[in-house]
Structure 1
Amino acid sequence: MKIGFNTDGFGHIPTEECLDQAAELGITNVEFCMGGWSRAPHVNIAELLASSAARDQLLGNVRDRGLEISALNCSGNQLHPGETGSIDSQLAYITVELAALLGVRRVVMMSGLPAGPGDSHPNWITSSWPPEAMEILGWQWKERILPWWRAFAAAAEKEGIRICVEQHGRQAVYNSESFFRLREAVGPTVGVNFDPSHLIWMGGDPVSAIGELGSSIYHVHGKDTRIELQSRINGLLDTKPVVPVRGRFWNYVSLGHGNPVRAWLEIVRALRAVGYDDVISIENEDYSLDAKEAVSTSVSTLKFCIAESAKDTP
């Protein structure tokens, strides 16, 4: 297994310095964000699409530090009913185009979330009650989610790109069941970018989910969630901003600061058991630590877990 890094975790420093720090920490793979919900601090997708020299420079900067690109990330809401949807949809298509030009075979993104019939804002249905909820959900999948994804999956397949959908709250695909609903409709070009942190705050078990997802896991994010004591009173649904972290019911944290290192060892073992022996890309959103310290902690946790899990193999 390899340790990767979503470079937005060092979004406050220039590209070359970001790559230097990644290599210094013992990271071997990087994942660049193209836009959408990211401000894309390290790449300019328009420039990269237009210029082979710009692509060669990026690849050279990565290669010169002993790194490789594990994936491009274009997470946004391509199913938004407004202008945002059109912009993020175009971003998804051109990210696939750029991935092919760079020789990168994976694109990480989210499923998106449409509005309901006649609505102007996305609507995440999380309960079968009141009764109109199921009518909205059925309409979303039939009229918005599946038509977009069938066309997009076909375009990605044509370019030989695997799409890695991140299961995330307030998205059409947020767990294994909703993922398989999408995959069964659009085919195996679409797999999972497995991020344990989202499942944890929704009350799920990463090891069980890995067993269910199996070979459909195409890419993995390394991010942890700490369930805070306030959740015992209020539950896990929390509408407060991610900062300040104090007072929230759960928080994203560096690996081992939410679940013990032993739990992460079991996650890595479970990934190996289903045949995943590839990149775990650290996505740092720990706002209680300095970025480098948080990433360093996650790297150390992964190095230990990867080394220990390798001992299981005869």
Structure 2
Amino acid sequence: MKIGLNTDGLADLGLEETLDYAASLGLDCVEFGLGGWSSAPHVDIGALLASAAMRDQLLGRLHDRKLTISALNASGNPLHPGEIGPNDSRLARDAITLAAELGVSRVIMMSGLPGGGPEEKMPNWITSSWPPEAMKMLEWQWRERVIPFWKEIAPLASARGIRLCVENHGRQCVFNPDSYLRLRDAIGPTIGMNLDPSHLIWMGGDPVAAIRALGAENIYHFHGKDTRIEPQARMNGTLDTRHVVPVSGRAWNFVPLGHGLSRRGWLEIVQVLREVGYNDVISIENEDYMLEAKAAISESVDVLRFAIDESVRRIPV
């Protein structure tokens, strides 16, 4: 099993320093954000698409440090009813093209979230079957926006040998295994899941149960990211509209691995990943707002190394 890093977690560092740090930790691969909800701190998708020399230079920098690219991340909302939608849809298509040019086989995306009807101007996340109009909006979203978009973009990826890794995320149409499987059933195996346990945790899900339900045939990429449920959740539940900072008073917070789930909890995740046949990358995505970024990432690497080494001892591969 490999350990990777979403380089957005080191957005304050330049590309060279970021790659040097990843290499110093003995990581295997990196994941680059290209835009959308990423500031794209380390690569310029337009420049890379325009220049074979720049692509070769990037690959050379990675090769010199014994690193590869696990995935390109084009997370945004391609179904947004405003101008964001076309921009993020274009980003996804460009990411597929760039991935093929770089020899990268995976592009991470969000499923997207449209409005609840043709006249709405803002996305509408349906989380309950009541009141009755909720189900009408949900079915309209899937029939008129979600399925048509993915039926259009999946063949573009398939033609270039790219797998689309849809991340489970709140305020997206795909936010858990059930909603992902609805999309997979409609589109086929060009899409799989970028399974992010942190989002399942804050919504009350169990990552281990999700891994068992999905199996390796549905898990195309995996984020190493953790969530701590805070005492405030006992009163309010985990739905929380407070900004991510300050962290005090929130119902939950993103934290380094081992600060939410225990080390043993991460061992169980890695064991179950191995059991279902996933023996690929766990890409650390650090969004902790309390610790210095390098310290948080280093702690996460330490937890993953423990979990991987211990899982090998328990489940010989």
TM-score, normalised with respect to structure 2: 0.98
Q: For residues 171-209 of structure 1, what are the alpha-carbon distances to aligned partners after superposition, in whole Å with 9 as ceiling and x for unaligned?
A: 000000000000000000000001100000000111000
Query: How far is 1:109 from its partner?
Result: 1.1
Pick which of 85-94 and 25-34 moved more. Answer: 25-34
**Aligned partners of 1:148 and 1:24: how far apart in 2?**
41
The size of the alignment, in residue pairs, is: 314
Match of 1:263 in 2: 265
Q: Secondary structure at the match of 1:124?
A: coil
Mapping for residues 136-155 of structure 1, pairs under 5 Å: 136-155=137-156
Q: Using the alignment, how far apart are the partners of 2:277 and 2:109 within structure 1?
A: 22
- Could you say what secondary structure the match of 2:222 adopts? strand
Residue by residue, what CA displacement relative to the aligned partner does 1:260-302 show, whole Å, maximum 9, x if unpaired?
0000000000100110001000000011100000000000000
Partner amino acid for 1:127? S
- 1:27 aligns with 27
Is this contact kept in 2: 1:153–1:189, CA < 8 A?
yes
Contact 2:247 2:289 in 1 (8 A): yes
CA distance in structure 1 between the partners assigned to 2:223 and 2:240 by the alignment: 22
Matches within 5 A, 1:74-89: 74-89=74-89
Q: Which runs of 4+ in 1 moved over 4 A?
A: none
With structure 1 as the length reference, what TM-score do the two structures score?
Answer: 0.99
Paired residue for 2:201?
200
Percent pairwise identity? 64
How many angstroms does 1:312 deviate by?
Answer: 2.1
> What SS does structure 1 have at the residue aligned with 2:32?
strand
- Structure 2 residue runs of 5 or longer lacking an equivalent are none
Counterpart in the other structure of 2:97: 97
Letter in structure 2 aligned against 1:35: G
* Aligned-partner Cα distance in 2 for 1:167–1:265: 21
1:3-62 CA-to-partner distances (Å, cap 9, x unmatched) read 000000000010010000111112111000100001101000011001000000110111
Q: Distance in 2 between matches of 1:33 and 1:102?
A: 14
Secondary structure, counterpart of 1:208 in structure 2: helix
Question: Which string of whole-angstrom CA distances, capped at 9 and with x for unpartnered residues, describes residues 71-90 of structure 1?
Answer: 00000000001110000000
Letter in 2 for 1:38: S
Matched, 1:59 2:62: no
CA contact 1:3–1:302 (8 Å) conserved in 2: yes
Distance 2:270 2:315 in 1: 13
What is the alpha-carbon root mean square deviation over aligned residues? 0.6
Contact kept in structure 1, 2:271 and 2:315, CA below 8 Å: no
| Paired residues of 2:168 and 2:193 also in contact (CA < 8 A) | yes
2:127 aligns to what?
A: 126
CA–CA distance in 1 between the matches of 2:61 and 2:243? 35
Identify the residue that residue 237 of structure 1 maps to in structure 2.
239
Separation (CA, whole Å) in 2 of partners of 1:283 and 1:265:
18
User: Secondary structure of the equivalent of 2:314?
Assistant: coil
Which segments of 5 or more consecutive residues in structure 1 lack a partner in the other structure? none
